Amino acid sequence: MWALRDVRLPSGEVVDVVVDGERIAHLGPGAARGVAEAEDGAGKLLLPAFVDGHVHLDKVLIRDELREHDGTLAGAIEAIHERKRRYTVDDVSTRARSVIEASVLLGTTRLRSHVDVDTIGGLTPLEGVLAAAAECADIAEVRTIAFPQEGLLRDPGSYQLMEAAIEAGADVVGGMPHWEVDEAAQRAHVRLCFDLAERFDRDLDMHVDETDDGGVRTLEMVADEALRRSYLGRVVAGHVCSLAAAPHDYAERVIDKCLRAGISIAANPLTNLVLQGRQDRGLVRRGVTRVGELRAAGVNVLFGQDCVKDGFYPFGRGSMLEVALISAHATHLTSHSDLAFALKAVTEAPARAWRLTDYGLSVGARADLQLLPAPTWEEALRLQPLPEKVWFKGRLVAQNSVRSKLHRAN
Ligand SMILES: [Zn+2]
């Protein structure tokens, strides 16, 4: 048993936290009294460790080996084909591992990674990420989503690979219905994903409508299917860019369906800011989904890192603090309640989408924690400090220290 004395919660309250084994045992003013192993938190900010609910660990860090392309989603997917053919399990696991380690150093201890499942790379991306997850099991929890990046009907053989991926250890069923050639194929894609999820009793986390074309409407297909099968609270839809381009009354109707189906939305503003709006001149669209309306309606919205130096996005370093900051810019988050929402979008919201029951700063929750050298969440968001300490299952797994010095003339 050990304790942290005088740490500040995001609410502003100063408390002690007592950790017993993997769990938070006590939390409150004076709770550390009598605990022999107690360190002074000095009023610094204590947050639950971040959750990255949407990342592609199989593709990370390949950017420098790809040819240049037009900067669009289609351009990136094509440019990656050549590299994907050359993936090996070792290659994928080495890259994935380095981003998992970087993420832990920056305060993230849970990651949910899509892994391409298609006839180009077969199961190599999954096997590589599973190997990295096993190697990093002492510092982070990594789950995988079988993701048919090249489509299901467009890529014959991929459905069988999806089945094999689930049997080989993928946790969640992915999808990408808007990538199919027409509406009938999109519907079939959605049905196939739900069939697979039902058969294996898995949650779904699909890439949905990652386009500025407001006529692309597979989010509604996903919501209808979830409602029809009563697959409630078990579906995440990622990106959902075209919802922003659709007429307002249509968008409101679909948002209501998402709410009723308990669908979480993984808005990934960083990648979509650079991928979308490429054809626009003058007023260039941001390509980000309707975060404000979804939030107002009560839909669970999370922000994910999505990409780390891959074919889609040349930046990213596994920092959910950076993800929250850039997403705040992209979605007009500036008021106090907006900034509290930005924190939720990288903590509680992805935890809820993942259906974690032991997440957060409360008694009984798993002690995945981080201590930040900032007095408040808003200052942490503005100043982007490194966490001084990060704990995973109650064990210290990362430490950072920064020494800065200003040399004045006299
Ligand atoms: Zn993605």
- Does 17 share its domain with 118? no
- Does 24 share its domain with 159? no
- Does 163 share its domain with 32? no
What's the structural domain count of the chain?
2
Q: How far does the centroid of ligand 1 lie from the alpha carbon of residue 214, in Å?
A: 19
Q: How far does the centroid of ligand 1 lie from the alpha carbon of residue 43, in Å?
A: 37
- Domain span including residue 15: 2-48+360-399
pLDDT at 3: 98
- Domain presence at residue 407: no
- Domain presence at residue 384: yes
- Domain presence at residue 331: yes
- Domain presence at residue 406: no
List the catalytic residue out of 101, 141, 150, 210.
Answer: 210
CATH number of the domain that residue 136 is part of? 3.20.20.140
Characterise 352 by phi-psi region: left (phi > 0), alpha (psi -120 to 50), beta (else).
Answer: alpha
- Does 213 share its domain with 245? yes
Known catalytic residue: 210?
yes
pLDDT tens for each residue of 367-410: 999 999 999 999 999 999 999 999 999 999 999 999 999 999 98
- Does 323 share its domain with 306? yes
Q: How far does the centroid of ligand 1 lie from the alpha carbon of residue 409, in Å?
A: 50
- Domain presence at residue 273: yes
- Domain presence at residue 409: no
pLDDT tens for each residue of 2-52: 999 999 999 999 999 999 999 999 999 999 999 999 999 999 999 999 999
User: How many CB atoms lie under 10 A from the CB of residue 126?
Assistant: 28
CATH number of the domain that residue 375 is part of? 2.30.40.10
- Does 191 share its domain with 78? yes
Task: Read off the DSSP letter of residue 181.
Answer: S
Q: How far does the centroid of ligand 1 lie from the alpha carbon of residue 210, in Å?
A: 9
- Does 198 share its domain with 87? yes
Q: With 90 as the cut, is the pLDDT of residue 59 above it? A: yes
pLDDT at 46: 98
Q: How far is CA 46 from CA 28, 200, 325, 359, in A?
A: 13, 38, 18, 14
d(CA 62, CA 184): 34
Strand 141-147 and strand 172-175: the pairing is parallel
Q: How far does the centroid of ligand 1 lie from the alpha carbon of residue 335, in Å?
A: 28
- Domain presence at residue 410: no
User: How many CB atoms lie under 10 A from the CB of residue 363?
Assistant: 13
Q: How far does the centroid of ligand 1 lie from the alpha carbon of residue 50, in Å?
A: 18
- Does 32 share its domain with 101? no
Helices (H), 331-374: 336-344, 348-353
d(CA 1, CA 18): 7
- Does 74 share its domain with 43? no
Characterise 80 by phi-psi region: left (phi > 0), alpha (psi -120 to 50), beta (else).
Answer: alpha
